[in-house]
Amino acid sequence: MRVFNFSAGPSTLPTEVIELAGQNIADYKGSGMSVMEMSHRSKWYDEINNECLALVRELMNVPDDYAIILVQGGASTQFEAVPLNLLKNGKADYIVTGNFAKKAFKEAGKYGDIKTVASSEDKKFTYIPRTTREDFRPDADYVHITENNTIFGTKFPALPDTHLPIVSDMSSCIMSEEIDVSKYGLIYAGAQKNLAPAGVTLVIVRKDLLGNEMPICPTMLKYRTQVDNNSLYNTPPCWAIYVMMLNLRRLKDMGGVKAIEEINRRKAKMLYDYIDSTPFYTNSVDKEYRSIMNVPFVAPTDELNAKFIKEAEAEGLVSLKGHKLVGGMRASIYNAMPVEGVEALIDFMKRFEKANS
């Protein structure tokens, strides 16, 4: 029996995508091979790779002056790849809004003059700090943001006002809502939340930012390496990219990012509305900055939190334990989480509250 999996990542995938991938697992299109076995230089895999890249461009309306690549190493590798590729003047400004943003800032600090322009750590990352154009150094190479905060459940309501290229880690919100790619210099996202199984990372970069790599930048971390080789410089994570392609096909058939955004906002509103309606559960994030992907909440005591997680799991509502930095519960309601899953969670929350008040 399939459960409702609220994991922050790797996250749930659409059942129909998993089943379709499973049907072709031993013999892909009469090749006599699984995608996990075939050469990444084969005609079968070349079609998969090209379709996946084309679907990203179509679904996100990526302009022609942006390159799209699929790489390995997760978003954490991009914490270093970004400065190694983009630090032309040796300076970058970071807005620190959570644990992953702190890690990105720390890694970048190895390679240049990296400044924290603003941080929300003073209030345990429960808001997004405001900035003005004057806050950013005029000679910085880029501004880095972590657009959605997986652990603490915050989201930038708008992009910073800046003259600098914006680099955004969109790992936990990629394709969850429509965006204007032309407002960014670079977008990167680990795929294991909204796009695919773990193993592949999406990078979208404006082409005029290419070619400024630091001399110490490893060949495998140079964006130009992958751009010049259509993401096939070395053996890619073929299976993860195949499932990503199937998942993006499904998203297109659903009506694209616009359609899934409507569903995502509906799911989030349902859950937040219930949390706000009762004193039993609390979400500490300022309402203006609430994520529509990750919803942390707590019951009145640690004992009740532990009881909630145990009893929810027994009812097929799994992976609800909050991150250790926050505690309590966290419902990650990514693209593949159906409305029915959120409805089931709210129903359980109501019954749990009644039994434990």
Collect all residues with Cβ–Cβ distance below 8 Å to 102 and sequence separation of at least 6.
96, 121
Alpha helices in 139-280 (DSSP H): 223-228, 238-254, 256-277
pLDDT, position 44: 85
Residue 38 has pLDDT above 90, yes or no: no
Mean pLDDT computed over 268-283? 97
Written as six digits, the tokens of 30 are 């009469």
Distances (CA, A) of 324 to 99, 151, 296, 327: 11, 9, 12, 5
pLDDT, position 10: 94
CA 242 to chain centre: 18
Distance CA 258, CA 144 (A): 26
Contact yes or no for 68/58 (Cβ under 8 A): no
Amino acid type, 16: E
Residue 24 has pLDDT above 90, yes or no: no
| Share above pLDDT 70 across residues of the chain, in percent, rounded to a whole number | 100
Task: For 94-139, write each residue's pLDDT tens digit.
Answer: 999 999 999 999 999 999 999 999 999 999 999 999 999 999 999 9
Q: Which of 163, 162, 165, 187 is nearest to 176 (CA)?
A: 187
Contact yes or no for 341/26 (Cβ under 8 A): no
CA 22 to chain centre: 25
* Element containing residue 202 per DSSP (H, E): strand 201-206
Distances (CA, A) of 4 to 7, 26, 89: 9, 27, 48
| Protein fold of 257-356 | Aspartate Aminotransferase, domain 1 (3.90.1150)
- Angle in degrees, CA 57, 59, 63, rounded to 5: 40
Q: 69 pairs with which residues across the strands?
A: 203
Amino acid type, 274: Y
What's the mean pLDDT when you consider all of the chain? Answer: 96
Q: How many CB atoms lie within 10 A of CB 128?
A: 24
pLDDT, position 325: 87
Domain boundaries, the chain: 16-253, 257-356
pLDDT, position 357: 87
Task: For 188-235, write each residue's pLDDT tens digit.
Answer: 999 999 999 999 999 999 999 999 999 999 999 999 999 999 999 999
Domain 16-253 matching CATH 3.50.70.10: the answer reads no
Q: Is the pTM of this model over 0.85?
A: yes
